[in-house]
Amino acid sequence: MKPTIDSRQLHAFAALARRGSFTLAAKDIFLTQSAVSHAIKALEEDVGTRLVDRIGRRVLLTQAGEQFLRHTEKILREMDVARAGIETLTKWGHGRLRVGASTTACQHILPTVLREFRQSYPKCVIRIEPGDNSAQLELLRGGHVDLAIVLEPPAQGMAEFAFVPLFQDELRFIVAPLHPWAQVGRAPRESIEAETLVLYNKTSHTFRLVNEYFREDKIALSNFIELGSMEAIKELVKIGIGAGILAPWIARAELENGSLVSLPLGPKKLRRHWGVAHLKGRRLALGEETFVGLCASVTESLGLTAPRNAA
């Protein structure tokens, strides 16, 4: 299999065909006359035939050269189109954005971020893939999304990914105002096992964090209801079904209007770290960098605290 023709040789040949002179062709493409001569010689050796005739100071194309020039011009046009297409992706308002996010992030963070993003990138094609943490990491791994708003997984799960920190939150008990715990302002340790806990999806990273937290405190999670929606958790808690566990910012409106009450899980806080993940070693496009920056500014405007080690 013969090697691909060097594009520099094609540029030299097109310039020579256009100008009919090695000297003028060299000026056009900012090379020496000798370099153009060597490029044409190497090109003729590569294609196996003479492409130009030298008649005094003039250069004329052979029949093979005329035919080859048509292909050369087409190839160079395609290269220009390809370059222009790539450059377009880096300009404001073009390209694509494929984002994975949890349902919580989709509801509370993405609307504002995407509204701001659309103002700068009005022609960008946006695709959102909702799902839990593990699903998002799989989508990233498979190249189905470019960025994912996720909870920071354990260190052993981050080998393939870069993680840009956004904010940290704290998981707390959420109860109805008439719940006994709300009356005393805390969750007595001895009553936690007997209480019906309303928790997020058992396969989720959040559930694992909660389970590990109470296991360290020798409290077994045996009496619980699992749901796939934070909104559903809040509604069950409001009608007194049990005590929910979620981050207060997800129930900000309910906490402010008094329909729910927030209580600590215990003496030790259970914090989660949120951020934007992408494949390690992948250079982000301008639009993707803009999206990450908007995520940071929007979460800050929501009063969510950035991790201390965030840049």
Q: Where do the domains of the chain lie?
A: 7-89, 96-167+273-301, 168-271
Q: In 3D, which of 155, 145, 124, 164 has the Cα closest to residue 274?
A: 164
59 contacts 53 by C-beta, under 8 angstroms: yes
Q: What is the SS3 assignment for 199?
A: strand
Residue 105: strand, helix, or coil: helix
Cα separation, 100 vs 129, whole angstroms: 5
List pLDDT tens digits, range 278-298. Answer: 999 888 888 899 999 999 999
Point out the least confidently predicted range of 42-51, 175-184, 232-241, 301-310: 301-310
Hey, do 96-167+273-301 and 168-271 end up sharing a CATH topology, with the first three levels equal?
Answer: yes
Q: Is 53 exposed, middle or buried (0-12, 13-18, 19+ CB in 10 A)?
A: exposed
Cα–Cα distance, 293 to 72 (Å, whole number): 43
Q: 93 by DSSP, 3-state: which?
A: coil
H-only helix segments in the chain: 7-19, 22-28, 33-47, 63-89, 103-108, 110-120, 133-141, 180-184, 205-216, 230-238, 252-257, 286-301
Q: What percent of the chain has pLDDT over 90?
A: 61
What's residue 310's pLDDT? Answer: 44
Work out the pLDDT band at 264, boundaries 50, 70, 90.
Answer: very high
Task: Flag whether pLDDT at 109 surpasses 50.
Answer: yes
What tokens appear for 50 in the block? 């003479």
For the segment 69-83, the average pLDDT, to the nearest whole number, is 85
Q: What is the mean pLDDT of the chain?
A: 89
| In CATH, 96-167+273-301 is 1.20.1600.10 | no
pLDDT at 306 over 90: no
Q: What is the pLDDT of residue 128?
A: 95
| Per-residue pLDDT at 84 | 64
Model confidence at 1, pLDDT cuts 50, 70, 90, reads: low
Which residues have CB under 8 Å from 41's CB, separation 6+?
none
In the chain, % helix, strand, coil (3-state, to 5) comes to 45, 20, 30
**In the prediction, which pLDDT does 77 show?**
85
Q: Per the structure block, which two tokens stand in for 259?
A: 């329909």
Residue 242: which pLDDT band, with cuts at 50, 70 and 90? very high
Backbone phi, psi, residue 191, to 5°: -105, -5
Distances (CA, A) of 168 to 98, 274, 287, 294, 298: 24, 6, 25, 17, 14
Q: How many CB atoms lie within 10 A of CB 3?
A: 6
Give residue 91's pLDDT.
54
Give me the half-sphere count of Cα atoms (radius 13 Å) on the Cβ side of residue 118: 9
Report yes or no: 22 and 16 within 8 Å, Cβ to Cβ. yes
Residues 168-271, CATH architecture: 3-Layer(aba) Sandwich (3.40)
Reported as a single tens digit per residue, the pLDDT across 161-171 is 999 999 999 99
pLDDT value of residue 271: 94
Closest CA to 259 of 173, 177, 174, 171: 177
Asked if the model's pLDDT at residue 88 lies above 90, the reply is no
Whether the per-residue pLDDT at 52 is higher than 80: the answer is yes
Helix axes 7-19, 63-89, angle to 10 degrees: 120
- Indicate the CATH number for domain 7-89: 1.10.10.10
pLDDT of residue 117: 93
